[in-house]
Amino acid sequence: MHIHKFEKIWIGASLGLIAAFIGIVLFGFTVLEMKVPGLENEKTIDPTNLAATPFADPGIRKVGPNHYEVYMVARQFLFMPGTGIPLTLPADTRITFRVTSPDVLHGLEVVGTNLNATVIPGQITTFTTIFPEPKSYGLICHEYCGPAHHTMAGMINIVPKSEFDESTLVSP
């Protein structure tokens, strides 16, 4: 079968481009630690009975000297915590988010960052990040979740580590 010379060059260049893309993503994944949510060790939870889970008390918990965990519930049509009173977190600290929903799918987007995830009833969305500097971020639900979907938003306030008020923590 005959393949034109230019076409061979083109196919070679295309394969090179594809390899480069795969390389870049793997580099981000391993070296830059740009992770995405995945399957966690936890089994699924019963979305109709969050009271029996740690999500009964959403809020911030301290899990290490420089590491906090946020248990967050996304429900029609608010983030808890986040909507109403902003979620306040310390800068330059490891923050692990654990998010679930008791009703329908929701989205979780921290505006202007790559913190972006789907929240699915029965599953726990987990990701870890560090906010380097004090700043305020918008928090948006970007997965259609019902008639008032466009009202579902919140705020994250990142404050200097020294100003973070530990009395807001939820005791485990």
Partner 1 sequence: MTFVDRYPKSTRIIKAAFAVAFGALAIGGFFGLIQALHRTDVFRGFISSVQYYDVLTGHGVLLALVFTTFFILGLFQWGVSRSFDREPENMTFTWFWYGMTLVGTLMTTVAILGGLIPNSSISAAVLYTFYPPLQAHPLFYIGAALLVVGSWLAGADWFWSYRKWRAEHPEARIPLQAYMTIFTMLMWYICSLGVALEVVVLLIPWSMGWVTKIDPLLPRTLFWYFGHAVVYFWLLPAYFVWYTILPKLSGGRLFSDPLARIVFIFFLLLSTPIGYHHQYADPGISIGYKMWALIATLVILLPSLMTAFTVISSMEHGARQRGGSGYFAWMGALPWDRPAFAGCALAGIMFAAGGFSGMINASLNIDMLIHNTAWIPGHFHLTVGTASALTFMAITYWLLPQLTGRALKFKKLALAQPYLWFIGMTLMSNALHRQGLAGVPRRTAEPQYSGFSYDPPFGTMAEMDWQVAIGGTILFIALLAFLAVIGASWSKSETTEAAIDDTIPPPLSGPEHSPKILDNIGLWTAVAVVLVIIAYTVPLYEMVADGLFSPGAFPSPM
Contact residues toward partner 1 (CB under 8 A) are: 1-4, 6-7, 10-11, 14-15, 17-18, 21-22, 24-25, 28-29, 34-40, 43-48, 76, 102-105, 107, 109, 111-112, 114-126, 136-138, 140-151, 153, 155
Helix (H) or strand (E) holding 159: strand 153-159
DSSP states of 34-74:
-------SS----GGGGGGSGGGS-EEEEEETTEEEEEEEE
Least distance (Å) between residue 122 CB and partner 1: 3
| Nearest-angstrom CA–CA distance, 105 and 155 | 20
**Amino acid of residue 166:** E
Give which of Cu ion, partner 1, none residue 130 binds (C-beta under 5 to 8 Å, depending on kind). Answer: none
41 exposed, middle or buried (CB, 10 Å; 0-12, 13-18, 19+)? exposed
Contacts (CB under 5 A) with Cu ion, residues 134-153: 141, 145, 149, 152
**Cα-Cα-Cα-Cα dihedral of 56, 37, 32, 62, to 10°?**
10
> Cβ closer to Cu ion: 82 or 90?
82
**Quick one: what does residue 28 bind among Cu ion, partner 1, none, with the CB cut-off 5 to 8 Å set by partner type?**
partner 1
- 68 versus 97: smaller Cβ distance to partner 1: 97
Rounded to an integer, what distance in angstroms lies between the CA atom of residue 116 and that of residue 106?
11
Closest to partner 1 by CB, 66 vs 136, is: 136
Task: Record the tokens describing residue 8, joined without a space.
Answer: 């061979």
- CB nearer to partner 1: give 96 or 118: 118
Stretch 55-94: interaction string toward Cu ion, x if CB under 5 A: ----------------------------------------
Answer for the pair 156, 139: CB distance below 8 angstroms, yes or no. yes
Question: CB of residue 51 vs partner 1: minimum separation in angstroms?
Answer: 15
Binding site for Cu ion (CB under 5 A): 106, 141, 145, 149, 152
